[in-house]
Amino acid sequence: MNYFSSNFKLGILGGGQLGKMMLYDTRKFDIYTCVLDPSADAPSRLACDEFTIGDLLDYDTVINFGKNVDVLTFEIENVNVDALETLEKQGVKVFPSSKTLRTIQNKATQKLFYRDHDIPTADFSRFAYTSEIDEAVDNGGLSYPFVWKSARFGYDGTGVKVVRTISDLTDLPNVECITEKLIPFKNELAVIVARNAQGEVKTYPVVEMEFHPEANQVEYVICPARIPDTIAKKAESVALKVAAEFKHVGLLAVEMFQTENDDIIVNEVAPRPHNSGHYSIEASYTSQFEQQIRCILGLPLGNTESKVAGVMVNLVGAENHTGNVVYKNIENILAMDGVTPHIYGKKQTRPFRKMGHVTIVNKDIAVARKIAEEVKRTIEVISE
């Protein structure tokens, strides 16, 4: 198959920032791209060859879009899986597969998958509705503290809450959910596994994630993680097992906890490019976005090693700011060594909305981390 400067069409469901960054590389390779997104202002609209406005969860919309492309992928999990399954039966190549996405899309089925395949993960309970949790606590089947997670449609801190008392349950939506044992951990780690249809597999270095205490969003991603080699090898081996059990094609970001006892347990996975791999645009020989294209087209995988240490800072909307976005002091961070901002193209900001990220590269990870803090202090994502 000739993918380059040809009639081949790659379809992407979702036109957000992940799609936009993937399109940097389809442009580089001159691969024809079609994007479907519900918003006329989606970040990907300018970089693709064909842009279609439509609902990603609507069966007919996804079918009509998908039947006109040769390979279909997605940059967001909230898409109509029944439509993907039908398209596969009609001969459209869908990577990652509808089967993988169906399992991952629902946190309860995702957790059962880990249990069934002997993948280490926190103990959990399933509930058809949040309102059933009270009874489980009263009966002694569940004790505080625990983590509540909505089974579907959670993202970036939405749909996750640490529950310490009964009052923490009051504002939660009454939906299908899971509760997980609250695990004391030393580090939150992530490994991105790349796997193509031929079964060639590579992993990116283990990264360490530092979270914002209130927003439950990643503030810093640090590569390489500041952990012993033995722990890094253990994390890599768990991530490889997860990807192998899913028979995954594409990128799989595996988020993990390093427990107080140095065990590695899987938190959750994302079957697409991921926040924990953004640093790779500047710091790696092959960015995660180029690698995703190589994976889903069955091309040889690129070198996943880092050229230099990298730290990624998320740019999120400042609290108390909603409206037309302004990146205050962006010139100041551009004056710093090794600093590259990525602005996603969302015109409207709101508190904690992901608006961009900044990569800081340096030979010394400690120096990069220090500059990252200065970047965080300097730039502000505010409204006019």
Question: How many other C-beta atoms lie within 10 A of the C-beta of residue 364?
Answer: 10
Rg (CA), the chain: 21
Nearest to 30 by CA among 50, 14, 6: 6
Q: Which residues are part of a known binding site for ATP? A: 107, 149, 180-183, 188, 267-268
By the 8 A CB rule, do 19 and 12 touch?
A: yes
Count how many Cα atoms sit within 13 Å of the Cα of residue 223 in the half-sphere of its side chain: 31
Alpha helices in 15-80 (DSSP H): 17-29, 59-66
Q: How far apart are CA 267 and CA 257, in angstroms?
A: 7
112, burial (CB in 10 Å: exposed 0-12, middle 13-18, buried 19+): middle
H or E element in which residue 255 lies: strand 250-259
Whether cis (ω within 30° of 0) applies to the bond prior to 184 is no
Question: How many other C-beta atoms lie within 10 A of the C-beta of residue 91?
Answer: 8
Beta strands in 30-138 (DSSP E): 32-37, 50-53, 71-74, 93-94, 124-127
Q: Which residues are part of a known binding site? A: 107, 149, 180-183, 188, 267-268
